[in-house]
Structures are given as C-alpha cells and as structure tokens.
Amino acid sequence: MSSRILWAIVGGFLAGVFVRSFIALPWPFAAFFVLLAVASLAYISVVREKKYVLIIVATVCVAFAVGVLRMESAGQAGDGSLTSVVGKKVTIVGTVFDEPDVRENGIRLSVRVTEFVVANATTSVSAGLPRPTSVRVEAGVLVLAPPHSDVAYGDIVRATGTLQLPETFDTGAGRTFNYPQYLAKDGILYTLSFAQAERIGEGRKNYLKVAALQTKQLYLHGLQAALPEPESGLAGGITVGDKRGVGEEYSDIFIAVGLIHIIVLSGYNITLVMNMVGKLLSRAPRPVQVISNAFIVVFIVLMAGAAPSAMRAGAMALLPLVARMTGRVYLALRALGVVAFVMVAWNPLLLAYDPGFQLSVLATLGLVLFSPVCAGWLHWVPEKFALREIAASTLGTQTMVLPLLLYQNGLLSLVALPANLLALVVVPWAMGLSVVAALAGIVLGSYAVVIAFPAYVILAYIIGVARFFAALPFASVSVGAFSVWWMFAAYALLFGGLVLLQKRKSRTRSPAISQKD
C-alpha cells in the first residue's frame, strides 16, 4: 500500500469522525460520499492520466463516509428507567469496571450498574407497605464517594446518592469543557453525587488487570514507606502514572512552568526509560533492543493498571523508537497514523472529547517532525548530558501542543524551556532511583529511607526547579478564549512553515549533489 493511499484512508476516516462529532449528519450524507467515490472511479476511463489522483479522491470519500457511520454507531443513549429518576436519591448495584480514581476530596468509582431502586421509596416498609422491587438496567455511572472508601476494581458495590446527568462546565476565561462526552467515551452517562458506597461482593474481572493493579499498589506502598510527600507522589506519577500525583497545589505549579507532562504517565516518560535501556544495549543486536523495549512498555502499562491512557502512552512511546531504529522518519509517521486510526476506530469519542489522546498525538507528531528541525537550530547547546536532545524535544513537542493548550486552558508558560532543561536532565535518574526506593520500601519499610535518599535528593531537586520558576514574575500568562478557527489557523501556519523549511533544505542539498556529480 502506497503512502498516499494510507494517508487517504487515515485522513478521510479521522475527518469523518471529527465532523460527525460536532454536526449531526444523517446516513444519506455518508451515502452521498460513497456515490462520489463511485463517480470518481468511473471517471478514470475518461481521464486515464489522472487515474491515481481519482483513486486517492475515491479512497478519501469512502474513508470519510466510514468515519461518519462509525461515529454515528458510537452514539450512546441513556437507560430510560434511570433517566426517569434523575435528580432523585437512588440506590444502585453494580461492578466497578476500572481502577478507582482516588483524589484529595473523594474517590471516583466507574460502575457498570445492573439494578437500582429509588432510595426514599424504601421508607414504605416501615408503614407496612411492600418493599419496592429493584429495576434491572445496564448503564455506566460515575459514583462520587467519600475518601478512603474500601472499594477496588472488580468489586460489586451498593451505592446510595443523588442520580444526575453530567453537565458541561466553565473552566474559566470563557472556556467550557464537554464533561458529558468526556465521560461517555468510557461508557459513563450518569453520575451519583454525595454517595455512600459499600462492597457487597466480587464480580467478574480481568485477572491480568487485577495483578497489575495489585503490583502497582504494592509499589506505591513501598514509595510511601521510603519517601516523604510530595517526593513520594512525584515518584509515583513519573513511574506508574499514579493519579494521586503530588496534589493539587504542586500540580498547579508544574502546569505553570510546563512540567506537568512528567507528573502523569506519558509517552515521554516511557521514552526516557527506553533511551536508558537503548544506551545499555547499544551493542546488542537490533532484535534484542526491540524486544527489550517492547517488554518495558508492556510492563509499565501493566503497572499503570492497563488503563486506556497508559496503553495510549505506551503506543505513542514506541513511535520514536521506530524512527530511531529505522532511521526513516516517515515510517514513524505512518505508525502514528495507524495507531491513531486503530484507537479512534475502537473508540471514536477519543478524537474530539479526550484531551489526553489529542495531546499525545500532537506531542508525538512534534517529537518526530519538529524536534529534528529544532536540533539543527540549537547547535550552540552542548550535547553533554543530552542537553541538546532535551531542548530539541521540548521545543518540538511544546510547539505542537501549544495551540491546543492555549485553546483549552489559555495558560502560556514563559519559562517552559529553561525549566525543562534543568528538570528533564535528571528525570531518567529520578525514575530509576524511584524504583530502587520502592523496592527498598517494600522489603525494609521505613528503614529504607537511607537507600531512598538519592531518589529523594533528585525528586526534591525537580520540585525545587518547578517552585523556583513558578515564583518568578510573569512565569506564565493567561490568554483569553478564542475561536477554534484560530487554533486551526495556527496549525496550518506551523505545517506550512515546516513544508517551506523542508523545501528550502532540499534546494540547498541539490546544488551540492550536482557539484559532486
């Protein structure tokens, strides 16, 4: 399959999903594009010299139609019985189908509900009336429970609270977040607020995921025994993507200085680990390097609970490896296109409603396309300690994600480059030493503080860098809300500039080649 055909399929499909995400297109619209494809193929017999162009056009049309229909099929309707009791206090019974999201103010449980009953109707029993029967349903509900609720993945829970429909909310500066669709991508259409949850049994579960989550909890317990806060939270975030992280206060600091990407598990973190392994196995055969790196990605993803975000990060982290090992950037671009196509085909709501997916794709695109360009401009940055590589990677990824970040939250960090240069140079060591600290904490408990001291020093250094730059005047500025079309224009300028640079580069090479000939 030629490169153009591949991009016609990927681009057309993603465009169809994206357009259908915001415009309710009826199925005849998709049929119209299929007819356009048929007409284009039929026209080949008339204009044979444009055969390939017409095939590309037909491919795009068919892929666009398939994307529209795939997004149409992903639409989720709520359960009528549950919808009828929205706003009332209900008791639900269901299975927790994902890792509980523990936060400072509570715990969020993703529950696949199988039955419910209106809670206040049970008072009829004291009046001598028959107990109301439960209603069988099948729906996803996000239960907002108090902190320290003793519930785990795979548990059957009973929860009582106020049933609500999630609502779009204001994020500040005139921006809104489509919370209903964000939850819908995970199959959740309702929330249960102010809930009291209790475990009543054990449901069906993926035992590989159970083992991964138990390993993760053991690992985090080891970190907490060996390291104080917030260093323990930072270690958990950079190694296994612990959602607890460093808390809201330090999360805001890391966001302000452009370092938030190291707290959450991302393709960048996994790439750092693979870089370290690559240096250790630099003399090993290429198949050994590939297998070793693939094993590390799978292990980290499992340690992170095999969550969709972790799998996405793992898939994205493999792409720079493809580019480096083949020496051919376009293969990494093809791999990125295939990964994005497969993930969106599996769950179309990711494309328009999952900021994490969007940032992952754009950051990887920046790492593959823009980082080499930035490296050519940074010849004055020393290569020692991989400073030039870090600077080029930071500039490349930040360039690509900046328009989307400004559109989403309007926060522009003016100290991101120096903060990343000073922090990222020690992140690989922080990750490695954090693992050592966790293992020591598991075995020795609180006596592991001596072994964990090197990890503590480096983690404290990263936090100190973030706090220092966040305290500077004008470390970040707030940009007001703007139209999405300005964001699209910014990306058009970025890619247009990249094309011009590549053409200029090819022109400067051509005379040199001709002179050698």
Q: Confirm whether 253 is domain-assigned.
A: yes
Q: Confirm whether 511 is domain-assigned.
A: no
Is 425 in contact with 385 (CB distance < 8 Å)? yes
pLDDT score recorded for residue 61: 95
Q: Are residues 181 and 43 in the same domain?
A: no
Q: How crowded is the C-beta side of 44, counted as CA atoms within 13 Å?
A: 14
Q: Are residues 195 and 237 in the same domain?
A: no
Q: Are residues 317 and 252 in the same domain?
A: yes
pLDDT score recorded for residue 245: 66
Distance, in Å, from the CA atom of 133 to the CA atom of 420, rounded to the nearest integer, reads 59
- Phi first, then psi, for residue 172 (nearest 5°) are 105, 150
- At which of 188, 205, 222 does a domain end? 205
The three state secondary structure string of 126-156 is CCCCCCCCCEEEEEEEEEEECCCCCCCCCEE
197, burial (CB in 10 Å: exposed 0-12, middle 13-18, buried 19+): buried
Q: Are residues 479 and 380 in the same domain?
A: yes
Q: Are residues 260 and 406 in the same domain?
A: yes
Q: Are residues 306 and 416 in the same domain?
A: yes
Residues of the chain with pLDDT under 70: 1, 119-132, 173, 243-245, 265-269, 271-279, 302-310, 312-313, 316-317, 319-330, 385, 509-517
For the packed helices 27-42 and 51-73, what is the interaxial angle rounded to 10 degrees? Answer: 170
Amino acid present at 368 = V
Q: Using CA atoms in the order 22, 170, 163, 78, what is the torsion angle rounded to 10 degrees?
A: 0
> Domain containing 67: what range?
3-73
pLDDT score recorded for residue 416: 86
CATH number at residue 158: 2.40.50
> Which strand (E) or helix (H) includes residue 118?
strand 106-118
Q: Are residues 329 and 453 in the same domain?
A: yes
- At which of 58, 73, 88 does a domain end? 73
Q: Are residues 193 and 274 in the same domain?
A: no
Q: Confirm whether 509 is domain-assigned.
A: no
Q: Are residues 481 and 388 in the same domain?
A: yes
Tell me 119's DSSP state. G
Distance, in Å, from the CA atom of 364 to the CA atom of 490, rounded to the nearest integer, reads 18
- Which residues contact residue 2 at a Cβ distance below 8 angstroms, ignoring those fewer than 6 apart? none
Percent of the chain with pLDDT over 70: 86
Report the candidate in 308, 333, 304, 309 with the shortest Cα–Cα distance to residue 320: 333
Q: Confirm whether 512 is domain-assigned.
A: no
Q: Confirm whether 87 is domain-assigned.
A: yes
Q: Confirm whether 329 is domain-assigned.
A: yes
Q: Are residues 373 and 423 in the same domain?
A: yes
Q: Confirm whether 8 is domain-assigned.
A: yes
pLDDT score recorded for residue 125: 40
Is 12 in contact with 62 (CB distance < 8 Å)? yes
- At which of 205, 237, 268 does a domain end? 205
**Mind giving me the DSSP string for 16-54?**
HHHHHHHS---HHHHHHHHHHHHHHHHGGGT-GGGHHHH
Q: Are residues 152 and 283 in the same domain?
A: no
Q: Are residues 117 and 42 in the same domain?
A: no
Q: Confirm whether 436 is domain-assigned.
A: yes
pLDDT score recorded for residue 126: 43
The domain tally of the chain equals 3
